[in-house]
Amino acid sequence: MSDNFASPHDRDLDERVRPPGWINPSPAPRYDLVVVGAGTAGLVCAAGAAGLGARVALVERHRLGGDCLNYGCVPSKALIRAARAAHDAGNGAPFGVTGCHGTGVDGAAVMERMRRLRAEIGRHDAAVRFRDLGVHVFFGQGSFISRNALEVDGRRLNFVHAAVCTGARAAAPPVPGLAEAGYLTNETIFSLATLPARLAVIGGGPIGCELAQAAARLGSSVTVIEAAPEILPREDTDAAALVRHALERDRVSFLTAAAVVGVERRSGARTLIVRQGDQSHEVTADEILVGAGRTPNIEGLGLERAGIVADPLRGVRVNDRLRTDNPRVYAAGDICSPYRFTHAADAMARIVVANALFGARQRFSTQIIPWCTYTDPEVAHVGLYEREAGERGLAVDTLTVPLTEVDRALLDGEDEGFARVHLKRGTDRIVGATIVARHAGEMLNELTLAMSAGLGLSAIGRSIHPYPTQAEAIKKLADAWNRTRLTPGVKRLMGIMLTLRRLWR
Ligand SMILES: Cc1cc2nc3c(=O)[nH]c(=O)nc-3n(C[C@H](O)[C@H](O)[C@H](O)COP(=O)(O)OP(=O)(O)OC[C@H]3O[C@@H](n4cnc5c(N)ncnc54)[C@H](O)[C@@H]3O)c2cc1C
Ligand SMILES: NC(=O)c1ccc[n+]([C@@H]2O[C@H](COP(=O)([O-])OP(=O)(O)OC[C@H]3O[C@@H](n4cnc5c(N)ncnc54)[C@H](O)[C@@H]3O)[C@@H](O)[C@H]2O)c1
């Protein structure tokens, strides 16, 4: 069974992030900052501004915490962790662990654990916590009524500055029959009592891949349909190939370079008609998950009344200082960013607070934004891909260390993957890096720090890494770079010096 149902943990979550019976406060005559949308971007704007003494109003139409807490990072990573436990429990044989066959998954317990942890983590985003920080929290749909006022719940909020942080939602692919047949998105899949026995996933991006692997490991039979020739089409192609291989081993089926041309409801199930080249396939599933990109939430915001320009694909238009076409209004997060990540929303919100309230002139383009897709193995990336460097006419040297050369990865049985770095040609300046490893997201930070601090790869080479760790892969990249400097000429010169020293002593 995979029906939606109400869990006691969801009631706990609501007590925190959408308290029943919440009474919106009487508005102040004028706010320094009115924030519309209380996902990561909005919460960070509100907490940051209030912490610095500003009078702040925060407007949310649904649940504080937005996608990340309620329908994104938090519930998905809880499922991914449960899926890893299931996978590891059943795969002890290579380690000499017996009795791993026949381990089972209690799907309802997996979902309950996710909801319990989500409710617990929800305390950071609680309405009461924000009220105690001095923020006026309003529940309701926010809509601009002029260039310096917003309306919520019939109340007018006048502002010196405002921040639009209304995020994005799952884009609905224009597939005939899909809406009628019904489908899940990230806003509904985490409300299921258990995962479905058969799941079709439209879209092989981060959402599709993370959830497809988790569902497969937790017992669902999963098919991913991806329009591009390969899954994770934005990633390094070797990285995407490794992820595909890993997911196939977990029994995820793929139809790539494929288009869903129709969906039909047949005897309780859903049948997707998929065209792949000149072939036609039918995929039958109990549920369809759509993870085919995002649509910015601009509707009903009254943007035109505030002089804010937006478009349905890219969202609100901002300059590099995150200011909209209305100089009083800024924007942060998925509503205006090509980097749709929680940490990017957080970084943008900090810029908005500094620029809007304190006249700073911080630029978003100076930020170095890493990201990680939490499949197993994970794919973590920062900076440019090799193809992007090529497009910009930037010549690079690329170094790769396979994890088979890293002792700890071998000992852990996690040697499928690599660490790869792109250096400005002839230098040790890092312009981009990709890591594929079970904990690639944790390993990447050293390279991100080096890039943002302007440290070259040789600085990483000079820092001592504990043995045995998988992060030694990065130190080995530095060693590989050092070896490239040992040209035959340099080697000969060193040989002569050593010979002379031997003779002299
Ligand atoms: C399944 C999934 C997994 C993800 N995993 C990760 C991950 O592991 N790591 C990562 O970095 N990122 C991840 N992301 C992306 C991350 O969730 C988003 O980038 C992040 O939530 C963006 O924050 P935001 O504040 O811009 O928008 P949102 O979180 O979308 O918040 C916007 C808020 O505005 C509210 N709102 C909209 N319009 C109005 C209005 N008119 N009035 C009042 N309120 C309004 C909405 O209700 C919502 O609460 C994931 C996303 C998904 C879907
Ligand atoms: N670990 C993370 O940080 C994480 C995890 C999940 C989501 N996210 C964020 O959420 C955003 C949205 O994720 P997403 O996976 O929905 O979007 P995405 O745009 O990254 O990937 C969507 C995929 O769906 C494919 N697609 C689009 N239309 C299709 C169709 N009709 N049929 C088949 N395939 C189709 C695209 O080719 C693409 O590969 C991401 O851009 C990312 O920023 C981040």
What confidence tens digit (pLDDT) does each residue in 348-362 have? 999 999 999 999 999
183 lines ligand 2 (CB under 6 A): no
pLDDT-derived band at 3 (thresholds 50, 70, 90) equals: very low
- Quick: pLDDT tens for 360-378: 999 999 999 999 999 999 9
Atom of ligand 1 nearest to the CA of 77: 8
- What is the C-alpha to C-alpha distance for residues 61 and 151, in angstroms, rounded to an integer? 12
Q: Is the pLDDT of residue 285 over 80?
A: yes
Contact 167 CB / ligand 1 (< 6 Å): yes
Ligand 2 neighbour 296 (Cβ under 6 A): no
Summarised one tens digit per residue, pLDDT across range 148-175 is 999 999 999 999 999 999 999 999 999 9
Please, what's the largest Cα pairwise distance for the chain?
92
Tell whether the model's pLDDT for residue 2 goes beyond 80.
no
* Banded model confidence at residue 1, pLDDT cuts 50, 70, 90: very low
| pLDDT tier, 102 (very low <50, low <70, confident <90, very high otherwise) | confident
CATH superfamily to which 178-292 belongs: FAD/NAD(P)-binding domain (3.50.50.60)
Quick check: CB of 148 below 6 Å from ligand 1? no
Q: How confident is the model at residue 93 (pLDDT cuts 50, 70, 90)?
A: very high
Segment 103-128 shows an average pLDDT of: 97
User: Mind listing the pLDDT tens digit for each residue in 78-88?
Assistant: 999 999 999 99
Contact 468, 408 (CB under 8 A): yes
Residue 146 pLDDT? 98
Looking from the CA of residue 340, the nearest atom of ligand 2 is 43
> Atom 19 of ligand 1 has which residue's CA nearest to it?
341
Kindly state the tokens that stand for 239.
Answer: 């990285």
Lowest-confidence pick of 88-97, 263-272, 411-420, 487-496: 487-496
CATH homologous superfamily for 8-170+295-366?
FAD/NAD(P)-binding domain (3.50.50.60)
* Closest Cα to atom 41 of ligand 2: 340
Cis peptide before 377 (omega within 30 of 0): yes
Confidence of residue 5 (pLDDT cuts 50, 70, 90): low
Identify the residue whose C-alpha is closest to ligand 1 atom 2. 72
User: Could you tell me if the CB of 27 is within 6 A of ligand 1?
Assistant: no
Question: Rounded to the nearest 5 degrees, what angle is found at the Cα of 378, between the Cα atoms of 363 and 484?
Answer: 75
Angle CA(271)–CA(275)–CA(277) in degrees, nearest 5? 160
Contacts of 350 (CB under 8 A, 6+ apart): 44, 48
Domain with CATH 3.30.390.30 in the chain: 377-484
- CATH classification code of 377-484: 3.30.390.30
Task: Report how far residue 398's alpha carbon sits from residue 237's, in angstroms, rounded to the nearest whole number.
Answer: 14
75 lines ligand 2 (CB under 6 A): no
Q: Percentage of the chain with pLDDT > 90?
A: 93
* Cα 484 to ligand 2 centroid, rounded to whole Å: 38
Most confident of 4-8, 100-104, 264-268, 439-443: 439-443
Transcribe 97-135 into DSSP letters.
Answer: ----TT----HHHHHHHHHHHHHHHGGGG-HHHHHHTT-
Tell me: pLDDT of 216 over 90: yes
DSSP state, 324?
A: -
The residue to which tokens 């002089």 are assigned: 307
For CATH 3.50.50.60, list the domain ranges present in the chain.
Answer: 8-170+295-366, 178-292
Say what the pLDDT of residue 402 is.
98
Nearest to 201 by CA among 227, 239, 219, 176: 227
- Could you report the per-residue pLDDT of 17-53, keeping only the tens digit for each? 999 999 999 999 999 999 999 999 999 999 999 999 9
pTM beyond cutoff 0.95: yes
Residue 180 is assigned to a ligand binding site: no
pLDDT band at residue 504 using 50, 70 and 90 as cut-offs: confident
Mean pLDDT of 133-154: 98
